[in-house]
Amino acid sequence: MTRLFTAGVACVALLGSTALVNAQSMEEIIEGAKKEGMLSTIALPHDWCGYGGIIADFKAKYPFLKVNELNPDAGSADEIEAVKANKDNKGPQAPDVLDVGLAFGPSAKAEGLLQPHKVAVWDAIPDSIKDPEGHWYGAYYGVMGFAVNKDLVPNPPTDWADLLKPEYAGQVALAGDPRASNQAILAVLAAGMAMGGAPGKEAGEKGLEFFKQLNDAGNFVPVIGKAGTLAQGTTPIVIAWDYNGLGWGKSLNGNPPVEVVIPKSAALAGVYVQAISAYAPQPNAAKLWMEHIFSDEGQLGYIRGGCQTARFTELVAAGKVPQELLDAMPPADAYKNAYFPSLDEVNANKAAVTGGWDAVVGANVQ
């Protein structure tokens, strides 16, 4: 089965690679982490891209570290604010590591909020999704889709325009606040592209108009969609990354059955990057975490969660991905025409969406 991460992210025209240079050996990092005794993560729900299993594997590998999980439902902007708010605070509320949307990596670096670390497999990460100095680096991606409660929606929508149909009244939600959540911000971009907008500011503005129509029609539900709201029927249709829909379906164990639909007109891909806070109270534990998630074991954890990963092609070629994991992945055709927006397009869309949501759509998502 062919995967498109390495080829597709070339569309995310960023920066080149440099040689691996780390001041510390792995032994020194482990000894430092033992003295720290804890790792503080943020915004890592257990049903997001396999993070429950990845965290469990990390704890088993490094039993001397307590994992302090802060605000699992935070958005990318919330993560950045948590770093800023705790610059002078070395307590447990200060995050050590971040998992944010692509646009948030370079901007956080520019603000001096990140510290560099190049993992042992640095050269295996595509150049197009990493900062050459090691401040941020892409770990995984998915495509935007619709997670549908089949008990309540027997006729799932197949494209963005379908969501405006009267039959979906009071059923459609986003999986985050579009003023702060990277997932929701890019959902607006995907909708705008489906409405004919060029990726970037134009699609962001057209996406806002689409959600205004959705809200005015009474189809939009201003509730952050997740597994619980999907199952309860509060949000029977959730616009989310495909791996989240797959993860929710798995956690619900068929009650209700969940179908993940990739819209016909616009399959938008989104890369998430990893970084260490410049103010991390536990910098050595943070480095161990990065080494873990980019190791074979960590990358397989993402794949179990239904995600495409930075090292997917390499691991498949080496025969390291079990066939049952490959069989459980979304069909390769779902990614055939996936569009990877450039960093400039992502930033232009983000500015349009976060700056215009309240005025154009006026729905307070929470």
What pLDDT, in 10s, does the model give residues 87-115? 999 999 999 999 999 889 999 999 999 99
Taking alpha carbons only, the member of 182, 180, 241, 178 closest to residue 214 is 178
Instruction: Encode the chain (366 residues) as per-residue pLDDT tens digits.
Output: 233 443 344 333 333 333 334 678 999 999 999 999 999 999 999 989 999 999 999 999 999 999 999 999 898 999 999 999 999 999 999 999 999 998 899 999 999 999 999 999 999 998 888 999 999 999 998 899 999 999 999 999 999 999 999 999 999 999 999 999 999 999 999 999 999 999 999 999 999 999 999 999 999 999 999 999 999 999 999 999 998 998 899 889 889 999 999 998 878 988 999 999 999 999 999 999 999 999 999 999 999 998 889 998 899 999 999 999 888 877 666 677 788 888 889 999 999 999 999 999 999 999
Residue-number span of the structural domain to which 85 is assigned: 5-140+269-332
CB 267 within 8 A of CB 335: yes
β-bridge partners, 39: 67
The answer to whether residue 208 sits within a structural domain is yes
Same domain flag for 65 and 213? no
The answer to whether residue 201 sits within a structural domain is yes
β-bridge partners, 274: 99, 137
Same domain flag for 216 and 351? yes
The answer to whether residue 227 sits within a structural domain is yes
CATH code, 88: 3.40.190.10
Distance CA 21, CA 262 (A): 40
Same domain flag for 112 and 220? no
The answer to whether residue 366 sits within a structural domain is no
Largest pairwise CA distance in the chain: 61
Same domain flag for 88 and 102? yes
Q: Is 49 left (phi over 0), alpha (psi -120 to 50) or beta?
A: left
Same domain flag for 206 and 87? no
CB 247 within 8 A of CB 192: no
Same domain flag for 351 and 214? yes
Same domain flag for 88 and 209? no
Q: How far apart, in Å, are the Cα atoms of 70 and each of 42, 46, 67? A: 5, 12, 9
What sign does the CA torsion over 36, 139, 201, 13 have? positive
How many other C-beta atoms lie within 10 A of the C-beta of residue 21? 10
Which residues are within 8 A (CB) of 192 and not within 5 positions of it... i.e. 6 or more apart? 202, 203, 204, 205, 206, 207, 208, 209, 210, 349
Instruction: Decide: helix, strand or coil at residue 272.
Output: strand
How many other C-beta atoms lie within 10 A of the C-beta of residue 78? 18
Question: pLDDT tens for residues 188-208?
Answer: 999 999 999 999 999 999 999
Distance CA 239, CA 217 (A): 17
Same domain flag for 101 and 201? no
Number of domains in the chain: 2
Same domain flag for 210 and 123? no
The answer to whether residue 364 sits within a structural domain is no
Same domain flag for 68 and 170? no
Same domain flag for 319 and 246? no
The answer to whether residue 161 sits within a structural domain is yes
The answer to whether residue 361 sits within a structural domain is no
The answer to whether residue 70 sits within a structural domain is yes
Same domain flag for 185 and 128? no
